[in-house]
Structures are given as structure tokens and as C-alpha cells.
Amino acid sequence: MNAAEIIRHHEGLRLRPYLCTSKKLTIGYGRNLEDRGLTRQEADYLLENDLHDIRRQLVERIDCWDQLSEVRQAVLIDMAYNLGLAGLLKFKNTLAAVSAGRYKTAACEMLDSRWAKQVGARANRLAAMMATNRWPKDFK
């Protein structure tokens, strides 16, 4: 027996955010997100787990995945992260253009969307990456 086991027993595990008895947003084994939040290391760990899941899903759902460059894969990963896989899959014209190797057309289709208007510079950057197969220069 140790302290972690006692806390697990008392707190219980909740994998979705909830309001605790003190009305604080909480997750896991009673982790108070409002007062404590996450460390950078924890946020990076969560991101890496999410990216692993997204890559796995994209490998299964995008027929030409293995033929895409790392840059173009990163574009689709970013879009799936932002929109969810279901949201990305609604970009039928974009994905058809990607599959056909028409990357400038894919970039235009990306920009011709409500999503592009909502995310602004992000869409412009991703479309440029899709069209040119180059990493953005404004990143370190």
C-alpha cells in the first residue's frame, strides 16, 4: 500500500473533465485543472499521445499517406488535430487533390473553406506548406 493507491481509492478515476465538490474543473484522480493546471512536460506528453493516435488514424484512412512527404503529412496531421478526423475527412476535394498529387489545387481547396476563415494565418501557412512542400520560415 502507498499514498498513490489511497488517493486512487478516495478520488476515483474520471477520464473526462468534471466539476468537483468545490466546483473546480477536475480530471483524472482529482487533478484540479483550475488551480494547478498542467506542466509543460504533461502538456507535451498529452500532445505526443494525441499525435500518435492521429497518425495511426490517418495511415488507416488516407490511401496515399505513405507517398506523402513529411511536410504534407504534417499539414494533414495539423488539420486533423484542429478539426478532428471527421472534420478533416469532410475536405473531400482537398483530399482528392492530395491523392492525385495536385498539391496546389489541394491548397486552394483548403483555403476555400469556412475553416480557413476561422483559423486565418494557420490555414494560410498550412496551404503554403501543402503547395510548396516546404516548412514555414516563421517557425523556429
The structure's pTM equals: 0.89
**Domains parsed from the chain with CATH numbers:** 3-32 (no CATH), 40-132 (1.10.530.40)
55-82 burial string, b = 16+ CB within 10 Å, else e? Answer: eebbeeebeebeebeeebbebbbbbbee
Contact 130, 107 (CB under 8 A): yes
The predicted structure's pLDDT at residue 44: 97
Q: Tens digit of pLDDT per residue, the chain (140 long)?
A: 899 999 999 999 999 999 999 999 999 999 999 999 999 999 999 999 999 999 999 999 999 999 999 999 999 999 999 999 999 999 999 999 999 999 999 999 999 999 999 999 999 999 999 999 999 987 65
Beta strands in 8-138 (DSSP E): 14-19, 25-28, 31-32
The residues near 25 (Cβ < 8 Å, ≥ 6 apart) are 17, 18, 19, 32, 33, 34
